[in-house]
Structure 1
Amino acid sequence: MQSCVLNAPGKINLYLEITGDRPDGYHRVVMVLQSVELSDRVRLTLKGNEIRLRCEHPDVPHNESNLAYQAAALLQERTGQEGGVEIAIEKQIPVGAGMAGGSTDAAAVLVGLNQLWNLGLTLQELQALGSELGSDIPFCVHGGTMLAIGRGEKLSPLPDLQPIAALLGKHRDLSVSTAWAYTHYKTAAKRDRGPISAMLSAIAHQDAAEIGRYLYNDLESVVLPYYPQVAQLKATLQQAGGFGATMSGSGPTVFALLPSIELAKALQANLAAAHPEIAFWVTQTSPAGISMVENTPVSPPA
């Protein structure tokens, strides 16, 4: 039985600017997307003739509504594969948190099945397939540091960052719908933002303090007024003594960039004790996207 295990990193948004509406119902955006080491593990096992998905997390669907399931079905449809696959997801990335957890699992399925089924699809072809399912999937396939435009699927690589420590926080019982956040953005008040050129310059110079200074997310103007607990979490992380803090994606995860992992761990311990209703994670930026952890060849016949 042939199987493989893939590492599926989450992402944070260092910059998210909404520049207008599109005729397809999406928004035009300019984003800087960044992989982090906080990752899911996805095991794919070629088995039977159906797609099956299992995950112990109670909020992860096990059916066709799961992006990972949809990724396998799309590959079957486009390539004529008739074999089945069992998808087992070990969640570490918080669910419904603006960190592309579902998208990175789908990206892992595309990359893994491309190898297990010997499809020979290029990175660009996998990204194009992923864009049919979700705007974050093309980025998750590649990972690293990327400038994203269009609806987020048009990607340009940026210089890989030297690791920057990050402390992430999310209220345990809170999720924010991406569709809701973007729909309500039209009525949100505009905020002052630093130019995207300033963020790109900070990345080019590997200047973590400047990257922190120019963190920006237009969706905060929607989410923070509606969810004051997220606004308070951002304020708490801003006061932690790091380079800056902002919300990732549509939230409700907020992250702070910090000078060291040691400081991040110390803050995590203090804040977790003071705020048991919030889950905190320590991670750091990563240059890697989907990667193979384990690949088991076909067992010889008995």
Structure 2
Amino acid sequence: MTTNPNHDDWWPAPAKLNLMLRVVGRRPDGYHLLQTVFRFVDFADQIGFRVRGDGLIRRISGNDAVAESEDLMIRAARLLQRESGASLGVDISLVKNIPMGGGLGGGSSDAATVLVALNRLWDLDYSMDRLAELGLGLGADVPVFVRGQAAWAEGIGEALTPIDLPAAWYLVLMPPCHVSTADVFNDPELTRNAPRTTIRDFLAGGQENDCLPVVTSHYPDVAEAIRWLGKTAVARLTGTGGAVFAEFRHEAEARQLLQQVPEKFTAFVAKGLDQSPLLARIGL
């Protein structure tokens, strides 16, 4: 990963993996009811902050593919400023390491890091519960990044139960495509009434992803990544994809397979984390 040591104050925004995903229903407002397991990995965006006294909130550098007005980082900062009445502003810089459209949670993680960092830098003293509540208004995945603990999740992904997971390393493949989460969840072929499962069943090996058939049928590059990785490991899809991954007990195993990844796929090896590096950044 790259970073910029010259900015005033840098904070991590880690990627996540969904180790399983079941779609168990749908609310009247159209949101899908899920069961999933979130786990952080030691692969992250880096966000730099420089507090301003004039109240302005600006993106100095970052993801040029997203308009500043639509950027979750900027929306998070403006939401926190509006809710708190803070008079301070901030210049925000982003070093984008997490690929977009991969189901790795980069945008949600960036938003969560902005909320947690500015809560500290603006001396707001909001609780994690309050920050998570604000984050839910930005996206269903934001609260888990705010709370910073690997979690069993239900509801639309916001009802979180901390979970301890075995030590693991992951080889993550990013196919050369951008998967639309909205399209996946709107697809008529998506299973929406999967039977509910339990943490015990998950830990015993129930790690299916109900989005996999839809994603592989519409995105040939994802299907190819699943096939390639599945030749030597158990290949899984994170979230709605398109990133796919395999789990290993030892780093050396993951790195050995990394050397064999076809050139068309971006790939990296990362360590599974039960606690986000964002919590370490604030001393928790």
Normalised TM-score (structure 2): 0.89
User: Matched residue of 1:280: which SS?
Assistant: strand
Once the two structures are TM-superposed, the CA of residue 190 in structure 1 deviates from its matched residue by 7.7
User: Residue 270 of structure 2 is aligned with which of 260, 283, 291?
Assistant: 283
User: Matched residue of 1:270: which SS?
Assistant: coil
Aligned amino acid, residue 164 of structure 1: A
Provide the residue aligned with 2:10 in structure 1: 5
Provide the residue aligned with 2:3 in structure 1: none
Aligned amino acid, residue 238 of structure 1: G
User: Matched residue of 2:130: which SS?
Assistant: helix
Provide the residue aligned with 1:239 in structure 2: 231
Provide the residue aligned with 1:114 in structure 2: 119
Query: Quick one: structure 1 residues 238 and 144, their matched pair in 2 at CA, closer, same or farther if it must change by over 3 Å?
Result: farther
Q: Percent identity?
A: 31
Contact preservation (8 Å) 1:7, 1:291: no
Q: Note the alpha carbon deviations across 1:32-51, whole angstroms, 9 max, x for none.
A: 11111111111111124321
Query: Quick one: structure 1 residues 194 and 225, their matched pair in 2 at CA, closer, same or farther if it must change by over 3 Å?
Result: farther
Provide the residue aligned with 1:179 in structure 2: 182
User: Residue 260 of structure 1 is aligned with which of 250, 259, 264?
Assistant: 250
User: Matched residue of 2:270: which SS?
Assistant: strand
Once the two structures are TM-superposed, the CA of residue 196 in structure 1 deviates from its matched residue by 3.5
d(CA) in 1 for partners of 2:206 and 2:111?
A: 30
Q: Does 1:167 align with 2:163?
A: no
Provide the residue aligned with 1:124 in structure 2: 129
Provide the residue aligned with 2:55 in structure 1: 49
d(CA) in 1 for partners of 2:130 and 2:215?
A: 34
Please list every run of 5 or more consecutive structure 2 residues that lacks an aligned counterpart in the other structure: 1-6
d(CA) in 2 for partners of 1:28 and 1:294?
A: 32
Once the two structures are TM-superposed, the CA of residue 198 in structure 1 deviates from its matched residue by 4.2
User: Matched residue of 1:64: which SS?
Assistant: helix
Query: Quick one: structure 1 residues 194 and 125, their matched pair in 2 at CA, closer, same or farther if it must change by over 3 Å?
Result: closer
Q: May I ask how many residue pairs the two structures share in their alignment?
A: 275
Aligned amino acid, residue 126 of structure 2: L
Query: Quick one: structure 1 residues 187 and 294, their matched pair in 2 at CA, closer, same or farther if it must change by over 3 Å?
Result: closer
Please list every run of 5 or more consecutive structure 1 residues that lacks an aligned counterpart in the other structure: 203-209, 296-302
Once the two structures are TM-superposed, the CA of residue 103 in structure 1 deviates from its matched residue by 0.4
Provide the residue aligned with 1:207 in structure 2: none
Once the two structures are TM-superposed, the CA of residue 248 in structure 1 deviates from its matched residue by 0.6
d(CA) in 1 for partners of 2:201 and 2:171?
A: 20
Contact preservation (8 Å) 1:191, 1:221: no
Q: Note the alpha carbon deviations across 1:56-75, whole angstroms, 9 max, x for none.
A: 5553x251201111100100
Superposition RMSD in Å: 2.3
Once the two structures are TM-superposed, the CA of residue 192 in structure 1 deviates from its matched residue by 8.5
User: Matched residue of 2:139: which SS?
Assistant: coil
User: Relative to structure 2, which stretch is displaced further, 106-115 or 261-270?
Assistant: 261-270
Q: Note the alpha carbon deviations across 1:222-268, whole angstroms, 9 max, x for none.
A: 1111112211211211222x4x2211111100010012111111111
Query: Quick one: structure 1 residues 199 and 14, their matched pair in 2 at CA, closer, same or farther if it must change by over 3 Å?
Result: farther
Query: Quick one: structure 1 residues 198 and 293, their matched pair in 2 at CA, closer, same or farther if it must change by over 3 Å?
Result: closer
Provide the residue aligned with 1:188 in structure 2: 190
User: Residue 69 of structure 1 is aligned with which of 74, 78, 84?
Assistant: 74
